Every structure is written in C-alpha cells, then in structure tokens.
Amino acid sequence: MGEEASSTAMVQVSVREFDPNKDRESVEAVERICEVGPSGKLSLFTDLHGDPITRVRNSPTFLMLVAEIGEETVGMIRGCIKTVTCGKKLQRLDKTTTKQVPVYTKLAYILGLRVSPFHRRMGIALKLVQAIEKWFSDNGAEYSYMATENDNEASVKLFTEKCGYSKFRTPSILVNPVFAHRVSTNSSRVTIIPLAPADAESLYRSRFATTEFFPRDIDSVLNNKLTLGTFLAVPKDCRYSHDTWQGAEEFLLDPPGSWAVVSVWNSKDMYTLEVKGASRVNRALAKATRLVDRALPWLKLPSFPNLFEPFGFQLMYGLGGFGPDAVTMVRALCGLTHNLAKEQGCRVVATEVSSTEPLRFGVPHWKMLSCEEDLWCIKRLGEDYSDGAVGDWTKSPPGFSIFVDPREF
C-alpha cells in the first residue's frame, strides 16, 4: 500500500504499510506508552515474540499500517478480513439440496488502533481508520466492525461520529482466575469427550453455522496450532463415552437430551496481559490468598493469582449447547478449561459471549476482572453481496448468541 500524506495541525502525517524489519521497535514503543483498557482491568502489555502483527496473523487476509511524522512512528492500526454468517434470520434455500444454508458476508475487523499520547487530537486516528477502510473496500469487504470498551468515550466518538459506525452488539467478556488448586468437572454426572478437529468442525457447522459472526473457515481455526482442543460434555448416563464414541455424524443423528461444547485457544503464545493501577494493599491481599491456597489446597479457596506482572491466558471459544442441563455441562467444561490452563501456566481463563446468551450462567467469572458490556460498532462499506440480497446487517436485531473468533480476541 502506498503512502498517503496530509497536513494536520501544521505537521505532515504519512500512513504506510508496516515493515517488520524497519518498524518493529518503534511500534512496540508506542504500544508500551498507550493505555489499553480501564485502570484495574486486564490490559494488553506486550507481544511475547516482539511481533506487533501477531494478533491478526492467523487470519486469512490481514494488514497493519503505521502513521509517521517525519521518521517518528506516532500511531498504528491493524485490520483483517474474513467471511462470516450474518445470523439465523439471514438464510436462503439451497436449490440443489433443498436445505437451508448460512448466508455469508465478507467482514473486516479493526483492532489495535493506537496513537501516541503526545500526538493525539491531530486527526491521526481518523486518518488511520480511513486508510484501513480503503484497503477493506479494495479487497471486497462488505462490512467493517470494531470492539471497544463501552465507556471509552474517545473511541466511541471517533467511530460513531466521525467514521460513520453504529453501535451494534454489547457482548460480555467474562474472566475467571486460575487458582492454585484444581476445580471440579462434575465427573460423577458429566462425561467430557475430546473431539478430533474433523468431528469438531462437523458439530459446529451442523449446529452453529448460522450464529452471528460464525467464520466460514472454522476448519482453519480448529486446526490452528493455538487451538488446544475441542471438548464435548454429555450426561454420564447417556450412551456416549470415550470408549463408545463413533464420531460426530453418529452423535448428530441421535444426541442426548443435553450437551455442550467448547474449544480452547492458547493466547499465552501470542501476547501477555497485565492488571494495572492496583494499590500496594490490594497486591498484598492478593498475595495472601495465594499463600493460603498453596498451603491448604484442599480448602479450594478462591485465591487471586499474580496478575500484576505480564501473564498468559486461555480463551474459550465456540461455547454452545442444547437441552435443560446445558448450563451444567458448560460448568463442567469451564472446570476442565481451568485445570488445563493451570497445567499450561496461565493465570486466567476468558471468554466472550452475547449479553443474552443463556449459557453464560454456567461460566464462572470475577466481576472485577470482567467487562459486562463490551461494545461492537459496525459500518456498511458496500451495497453488493456475494451471496445475494440479504438486506442491511447493521439494522438487524441481535440474536441470543454470537461466535467469537479467537484470532481477533
């Protein structure tokens, strides 16, 4: 992508594509001085591998742009493009199979917009957004969306008032600490079966492919080296077990009355987090809970892990299920994920769900670490649709569920 230059506040600002050989150190420097997230919450700290584009590299089409004044890097933005479904209400009839199939749309995602605190209120953020949107449009994206904290007034104002985005969805980010002790998976009532990627793909495509934001390349996500596994929870007394499992096709023909599924993504190998703004008193109290938990693990006390220095986490994605006991199944899967995170040396487990998701009641989380109302804003970039006229997605009402792509978290 070529350079674009404009005069802003008596300075010349240029925007160009990120060069990993030239820009890595300067981009990391801007990342470090930018606040990410509210004080006392989880905040992006640094990329473990020193590569600022890692978070979108797993997406099929991605780009990173940097803004410069002279030779100084003053901002950056990341973007990726993927194909997703618009939700259950947007379906069409496949004339060859007479089955309902998902309607897909090409969706772009903006993340990692940063501007140096010393160069704000100069129009740099707007210029970066406009440049990445041009790349989106040039590559056929029909919609663009972004996520921000609901109380981030500057970000919300930039996108809704200056860039033409509208508020779209308000999911919740649920975060739970990883304790020094293992937690229950309710093994007396629930059987958890690890699924091969092919079985997981069949299950997701059969039951969740019309969930909003479901990626058409779910197979790429499930086969990614960062996916640690997909796990299916079923009642202990049903006919499915580790020994009797014959594959997803048989399961889908005769599922039990209740079941749930989740996949686990290893974000630890991508970047680390850090809680900032905690007082010395709170740090000391947190340390005391960890000491007691280590000394008396059988008490299963909810200790507070050390989140005041860079740490890794695991992300649960693809959370879904059916039946009256699905919430119980989800609790068992969360217990398994917690124990897996403990073995991997992670300090929290996170997931993002729709604010109306019924299964969220099975997800343990600490309110002080979670974000009850994240904000997704969306913009329609074009009028044409590859899968036929499906209307304007930006005006559709929310469904009960969303599918959160771990490549963008």
Write the pLDDT tens digit of every residue in 68-87. 999 899 999 999 999 999 87
Does 257 share its domain with 113? Answer: no
Does any domain span residue 342?
A: yes
Chain-centre distance for alpha carbon 16: 27
Does 202 share its domain with 303? Answer: yes
Does 255 share its domain with 357? Answer: yes
Residue 286: CB atoms within 10 A of its CB come to: 18
Flag whether pLDDT at 88 surpasses 60: no
Residues 195-209 have a mean pLDDT of: 96
- Tell me what pLDDT residue 54 has: 60
Q: What percent of the chain has pLDDT over 90?
A: 61
Confidence of residue 369 (pLDDT cuts 50, 70, 90): confident
- Tell me what pLDDT residue 112 has: 86
Residues 356-365 have a mean pLDDT of: 95
Does any domain span residue 222?
A: yes
Asked if 257 and 226 count as a contact pair (C-beta separation under 8 A), the reply is no
Residues 102-126 have a mean pLDDT of: 91
Flag whether pLDDT at 383 surpasses 80: no
Confidence of residue 50 (pLDDT cuts 50, 70, 90): very low
- Tell me what pLDDT residue 77 has: 94
Instruction: Report the CATH number that the domain containing residue 252 is assigned in CATH.
Output: 3.40.630
- Tell me what pLDDT residue 55 has: 58
Give the DSSP H/E element, type plus range, for residue 316: strand 313-322
- Tell me what pLDDT residue 389 has: 47
What's the CA gap between 285 and 297, in Å, rounded? 18
- Tell me what pLDDT residue 33 has: 81
> What are the residues facing 80 on neighbouring strands?
62, 109
Flag whether pLDDT at 48 surpasses 50: no
Residues 229-248 have a mean pLDDT of: 95
Does any domain span residue 300?
A: yes
Residue 143: CB atoms within 10 A of its CB come to: 21
Residues 217-227 have a mean pLDDT of: 95
Angle, CA 240 vertex, CA 236 and CA 245 arms, to 5°: 140
Instruction: Report the CATH number that the domain containing residue 18 is assigned in CATH.
Output: 3.40.630.30
Does 127 share its domain with 182? Answer: no
As a dihedral over the C-alpha atoms of residue 311, residue 120, residue 113, residue 173, rounded to 10 degrees, the angle is 60
- Tell me what pLDDT residue 92 has: 54
Least confident of 44-58, 80-94, 361-375: 44-58
For residue range 244-301, list pLDDT tens digits in order. Answer: 999 999 999 999 999 999 999 998 887 788 777 778 898 899 899 999 998 998 888 8
Does any domain span residue 72?
A: yes
Instruction: Cite the DSSP H helix spans in 187-319.
Output: 197-208, 218-222, 248-253, 280-295
Residue 242 class from Cβ within 10 Å (0-12 exposed, 13-18 middle, 19+ buried)?
A: exposed
Does 116 share its domain with 81? Answer: yes
Does 132 share its domain with 192? Answer: no
Confidence of residue 11 (pLDDT cuts 50, 70, 90): confident
Does 57 share its domain with 194? Answer: no
Does any domain span residue 155?
A: yes
Q: Give the residue, 393 or 32, on which the prediction is more confident.
A: 393
Does 41 share its domain with 158? Answer: yes
Indicate the SS3 state at residue 385. Answer: coil
What is each CA distance from 225 to 27, 229, 255, in whole angstroms? Answer: 26, 10, 29
Indicate the SS3 state at residue 255. Answer: coil
By C-alpha distance, which of 276, 288, 281, 234 is closest to 369?
Answer: 276
Does 343 share its domain with 394? Answer: no
Does any domain span residue 202?
A: yes
Residues 47-75 have a mean pLDDT of: 75
Q: How many domains does the chain have?
A: 2
Residues 94-111 have a mean pLDDT of: 78
The residues, ordered by sequence, that sit 6+ positions from 253 with a Cβ below 8 Å of its Cβ are none
- Tell me what pLDDT residue 380 has: 95
Does any domain span residue 367?
A: no
Does 188 share its domain with 297? Answer: yes
Residue that has been written with the tokens 């006919």 in this structure: 239
Does any domain span residue 285?
A: yes
By C-alpha distance, which of 53, 65, 80, 71 is closest to 124?
Answer: 65
Confidence of residue 322 (pLDDT cuts 50, 70, 90): very high
Does 334 share its domain with 192? Answer: yes
Residues 94-117 have a mean pLDDT of: 81
Asked if 129 and 381 count as a contact pair (C-beta separation under 8 A), the reply is no
Average pLDDT value over all residues in the chain: 87
- Domain assignment of residue 345, given as a range: 174-362
Flag whether pLDDT at 119 surpasses 80: yes
Does 59 share its domain with 138? Answer: yes
Flag whether pLDDT at 93 surpasses 60: no
